């Protein structure tokens, strides 16, 4: 997609963001790139606290590099913690990033990371000192479901290190259904290390997404508000990482919902829970009494 496939838009609060003409969606709408990333990822994941307590390299998967606002906000917010970070960014195109780097002043969040991102564009990886810690930043360019499938086929050898945190920021299911299917999240869960606590927040609070995450193996809860949404979603491979787990009342609402059945193929549609899905949900350890 050429750079003309994007434009800079001014949000209601005066902050600027990138808009995709092809998808007809704005990155980080309403409150802007930095505010959303801080609320959804930095604060919700308690990254400062976790990094201070962490020994060794902390691995972050940045699923949907886009214009790099999520990754930069995470790096900037934690740069005073000496824990080394390994950032793995995934995207099928570099055009949003290339476009954003041509509008640094308007976007206003690059904070001196421009040269590192220019190297990402050229070489797909960069190593640098960020205040008192070391950062390794890698780009994995390609179709994310295909990359996951290839990584799963190589297990127990790992193509990618298992993450401690996942920043999941794909376009919406209606515009990009391939990134929200049950096979994708099942594969993602399969690449986690059971001995390594991992948390995945995302902006959606849809019943379909939450059912999908539960069936994939995650524990799931209500996530923090971001300013534009009163509630988001957070998932983890252990219940202890979920502050507000979905409960029996949510389960009953899901049963009544007209849009709850997971996408099993990359085609968007809305449907009620099937009997098989409902019975599987009842067996999830999160809901067993």
Residue 146 has pLDDT above 70, yes or no: yes
- Closest C-alpha to 86, from 169, 164, 185: 164
Q: Which two tokens stand for residue 217?
A: 């193996």
Query: What number is the average pLDDT over the span 204-214?
Result: 97
Establish whether the linkage from the previous residue to 74 is cis, with ω within 30° of 0.
no
Spatial CA neighbour of 211 closest among 190, 185, 242:
185
In the sheet where 16-20 sits, what is the strand order?
6-10, 16-20, 25-26
Q: Is the pLDDT of residue 250 over 90?
A: yes
Element (H, E) at 91: strand 85-91
Question: What is the per-residue pLDDT across 236-248, written as a single tens digit (0 to 9) for each?
Answer: 999 999 999 999 9
Q: How confident is the model at residue 132 (pLDDT cuts 50, 70, 90)?
A: confident
pLDDT of residue 285: 95
Buried b (16+ CB within 10 A) or exposed e, 57-68: ebbbbbbbbbbb
Delimit the domains of the chain by residue range: 29-282
Q: What is the CATH number of domain 29-282?
A: 3.40.50.150
Q: Would you state the pLDDT for residue 232?
A: 94
Instruction: Give tens-digit pLDDT for 30-43.
Output: 788 899 999 999 99
pLDDT at residue 1 tops 50:
no
Quote the DSSP letter at residue 55.
-
Cβ–Cβ < 8 Å for 53, 21: no
CA dist 118 and 122 (Å) reads 6
Residue 289's pLDDT band, with cuts at 50, 70 and 90, is low
**Contact status, residue 251 vs residue 273, Cβ threshold 8 Å:** no
């Amino acid at each position: 997609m050429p750079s003309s496939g994007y434009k800079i838009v001014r949000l209601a609060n005066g902050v600027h963001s990138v808009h995709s003409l092809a998808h007809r969606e704005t990155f980080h709408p309403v409150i802007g790139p930095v505010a959303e990333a801080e609320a959804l990822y930095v604060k919700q994941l308690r990254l400062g606290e976790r990094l201070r307590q962490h020994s060794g390299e902390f691995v972050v998967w940045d699923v949907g590099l886009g214009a790099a606002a999520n990754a930069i906000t995470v790096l900037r917010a934690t740069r005073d913690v000496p824990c080394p970070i390994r950032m793995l960014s995934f995207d099928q195109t570099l055009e949003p990033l290339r476009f954003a780097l041509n509008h640094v002043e308007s976007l206003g969040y690059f904070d001196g990371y421009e040269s590192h991102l220019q190297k990402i564009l050229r070489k797909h990886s960069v190593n640098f000192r960020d205040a008192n810690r070391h950062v390794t930043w890698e780009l994995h360019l390609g179709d994310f479901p295909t990359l996951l499938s290839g990584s799963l086929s190589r297990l127990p050898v790992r193509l990618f290190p298992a993450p401690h945190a996942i920043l999941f920021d794909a376009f919406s299911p209606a515009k990009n259904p391939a990134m929200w299917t049950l096979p994708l999240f099942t594969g993602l869960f399969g690449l986690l290390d059971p001995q390594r606590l991992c948390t995945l927040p995302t902006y959606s609070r849809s019943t379909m997404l939450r059912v999908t995450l539960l069936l994939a193996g995650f524990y799931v809860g209500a996530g923090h508000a971001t300013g534009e949404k009163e509630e988001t979603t957070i998932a983890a491979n252990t219940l202890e990482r979920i502050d507000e787990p979905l409960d029996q009342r949510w389960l009953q609402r899901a049963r009544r919902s007209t849009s709850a059945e997971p996408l099993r193929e990359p085609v968007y549609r809305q449907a009620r829970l099937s009997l098989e899905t409902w019975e599987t949900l009842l067996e999830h350890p999160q809901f067993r009494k």
